[in-house]
Amino acid sequence: MPKLTYHSHACFVLEHGGKRIVFDPFLTGNPRADIEAAALPKLDAILLTHGHGDHLGDAVPLAKKHHATIVAPYELALYCGEQGAPDVHPMHIGGAHEFPFGRVKLVVAFHGGMVEGENAAKYTTFPCGYVVTVGGKRVYHTGDTALTMEMQLLEGRVDVMLLPIGDNFTMGIEDAVRAVAFVKPKVAIPMHWGTFPVIEADPQAFKQAVGSLAQVAVLEPGQSYDF
Ligand code: NI
Ligand code: MN
């Protein structure tokens, strides 16, 4: 049974069949993180939605420590390789690939593409969302994004949807509820809320607004969800 563990912001660990991947491991400097990067268990892969500091986070040091594969949009993957990540797997939006841990597909996210700490804009790229299939279940991590019509392409194809509700940089609650209506996942898990004052949001208000559209699992940092 696949298991998701929330470590705050957009960081989730997904475990299944003895493999473990992490999305957007922003732990160092994250006031809501429940765990230090050094305390994460063995990782097989690190999936990055974009290069902003609150997503790229500890990715490169973790990749070095665990010899984990970094999966990212092409330009961001090259950047991570240049920073010394031992194994990078560049992909791009619309493409899918079978990894030992499962299938990964990159999907559209509407957001900024700057890579933190890189000033020449050489690695600036499109951010992405991920649809990851493990154990026959599909997890959609939207990344940082606005509500997009493209989400409708995933209607009925998602078991668990991880989506931002914090507003300001991404969807807020109102648009996140519409995103759930577009995708119709079995379960929605809110993310990208409460890390900083500007993205304070009430996940229970989101849950209430989603109503019968989907089940909502509100995870606090450190909590897990089996599906
Ligand atoms: Ni961002
Ligand atoms: Mn962000």
pLDDT in tens, 43-90: 999 999 999 999 999 999 999 999 999 999 999 999 999 999 999 999
Nearest-angstrom CA–CA distance, 180 and 166: 15
Task: Record the pTM.
Answer: 0.98
Which three-class secondary structure state does DSSP give residue 72? strand
Tell me the C-alpha to C-alpha distance, in Å, between residue 103 and each of 1, 74, 111, 209.
16, 17, 24, 32
Rounded to the nearest whole angstrom, what is the distance from the C-alpha of residue 26 to the centroid of ligand 1? Answer: 11
Ligand in nearest proximity to the CA of 127:
1
Q: Give the per-residue pLDDT at 112.
A: 96
Rounded to the nearest whole angstrom, what is the distance from the C-alpha of residue 13 to the centroid of ligand 2? Answer: 17
Rounded to the nearest whole angstrom, what is the distance from the C-alpha of residue 144 to the centroid of ligand 1? Answer: 5
**CATH code that applies to domain 3-220:** 3.60.15.10
Q: Give the per-residue pLDDT at 209.
A: 98
Confidence of residue 120 (pLDDT cuts 50, 70, 90): confident
Rounded to the nearest whole angstrom, what is the distance from the C-alpha of residue 55 to the centroid of ligand 2? Answer: 6
Nearest-angstrom CA–CA distance, 83 and 95: 24
Q: Which two tokens stand for residue 65?
A: 């420590």
Q: Which two tokens stand for residue 101?
A: 């841990």
Q: Give the per-residue pLDDT at 121.
A: 83
Nearest-angstrom CA–CA distance, 157 and 177: 17
When pLDDT is averaged across residues 133-141 and rounded to a whole number, the result is 98
The mean pLDDT of the chain is: 97
Q: Which residue in 159, 158, 129, 149 sits closest to 23, CA to CA?
A: 129
- CB of 163 within 8 A of CB of 191? yes
User: What pLDDT digit, counting tens, does each position of 150-175 carry?
Assistant: 999 999 999 999 999 999 999 999 99
Nearest-angstrom CA–CA distance, 91 and 137: 21
